[in-house]
Amino acid sequence: MMEKQFEYMDILKAIADDTRMAILQSLKSGPLTVSDIEKITGKSHSTTSQQLKSMLNVNLVTFRKVGTQKFYQIRDNQIFDMLESISSYLSTSEVISTTKGEKVRKILLMGLDNSGKTSILLSFLGNKNLVSFMSQNLKPTNGKKHMSEILADLKLESKIQPECVYFEYGGQVVFREEFKKDPISILRGFDKIIYVIDIQDDKRYEESINYLKEIANCLENISPSYEMDIFLHKFDPNIDINKKYSQPTINEKVIGRIKQIIPVGFKNTVYKTTIYTVFRKSLIMQTYHAM
Ligand SMILES: Nc1nc2c(ncn2[C@@H]2O[C@H](COP(=O)(O)OP(=O)(O)OP(=O)(O)O)[C@@H](O)[C@H]2O)c(=O)[nH]1
Ligand SMILES: [Mg+2]
């Protein structure tokens, strides 16, 4: 018998509910019985059973019987890639959008060499495929570059017109030394800095945080109301399975250090970011051989 093919809408509806989302998250760590799920989500027995039934109906969840007990589990963990993707979409939209009527904002990306600034800029401009960044052999950015210069250097065109104007300041040592000599001339005129830290480069956390400190101190002199976003970048899907990148380690080694060095009253927001494309599976052809 051929399995029923579920449509986008069925799946989206099946997760668009607080209780069902809580059940989904509870099953992330492995199969559970209804009473296990109830303990984690704090929902009643009847609500949990009812919602599980609708999740079973669209094949989001399956179960296995062991003796008299039923263990529920996620049918395919790709559903979590999709949720990651939505989170990433939301944080990118927030970065790109500006309030209507405001003057066009100028944003400068800074960070160590190889932290991923050019890649992030390209993804803001509509190029969202990591493989294409690799095959383009991204070269280090030479000093302060406008987004159009970066695109021209890579012989690319933008698919979208961003609402902000982006610049990148290359992170190689030679440019960081130049920055030290006259930081104000580099930072002046921007409404916001996006500071990028390569989370997979744990040997250089301190180096990156020291550079961030120099920038923050200087911004404080230009204007105390300066805005800065900090991207903990290359936070690819599931890297936090590795203890090196787990939340407690990152809190201690990065977030805690950022809190220590950012001047009081300074507005900054920290995001986890990645340009990694989630695994995709699309149906090309289906054949059926009758015996
Ligand atoms: N795994 C992973 N790799 C990434 C990600 N973003 C960028 N990279 C890789 O990081 C490398 C450096 O990227 P760039 O964007 O050139 O770095 P940059 O910060 O502009 O470097 P400079 O211009 O020298 O300051 C490239 O090989 C990218 O493919 C990410 O989210 N995940
Ligand atoms: Mg660059």
Ligand nearest to the Cα of 138, by number: 1
Q: How far is the CA of 183 from the centre of ligand 2 (A)?
A: 19
For residue 233, give the ligand 1 atom closest to its CA. Answer: 31
Q: Return the CATH number of the domain spanning residue range 90-272.
A: 3.40.50.300
| Residue-level pLDDT at 274 | 84
Nearest C-alpha neighbor of 43 from the set 64, 25, 28, 66:
25
Domain(s) labelled CATH 1.10.10.10 in the chain stretch across 8-76
3-state helix, strand, coil in the chain (%, to 5): 45, 15, 35
Ligand nearest to the Cα of 119, by number: 1
Domain(s) labelled CATH 3.40.50.300 in the chain stretch across 90-272
Can you name the CATH fold of 8-76? Arc Repressor Mutant, subunit A (1.10.10)
Ligand nearest to the Cα of 239, by number: 1
Tell me the three state secondary structure of residue 107. Answer: strand
| CB-based pocket (< 6 A), ligand 1 | 111, 113-119, 133-134, 138, 140-141, 170-172, 233-234, 236, 274-276
Q: How far is the CA of 264 from the centre of ligand 1 (A)?
A: 31
For residue 171, give the ligand 1 atom closest to its CA. Answer: 25
Which helix (H) or strand (E) segment holds residue 146: the answer is strand 144-146
Give the pLDDT confidence of 181-219 residue by residue, as tens digits: 999 999 988 988 999 999 999 999 999 999 999 999 888
Q: Could you tell me where the beta strands, DSSP code E, fall in 163-220? A: 165-169, 192-198
How far is 200 from 114, CA to CA, in rounded Å?
Answer: 11
| Residue-level pLDDT at 220 | 79
| Residue-level pLDDT at 174 | 98
| Residue-level pLDDT at 286 | 57
Q: Ligand 1, from 88, 119, 173, 201: best to mutate by most atoms within 8 Å of Cβ? A: 119
Q: Which residues of the chain have pLDDT under 70?
A: 1-6, 88, 91-102, 128-136, 224, 277-291
| Residue-level pLDDT at 34 | 96
- Both tokens of 201, joined, read 């480069």
Ligand 1 atom 1 nearest Cα: 234
Q: How far is the CA of 213 from the centre of ligand 1 (A)?
A: 22
| Residue-level pLDDT at 237 | 80
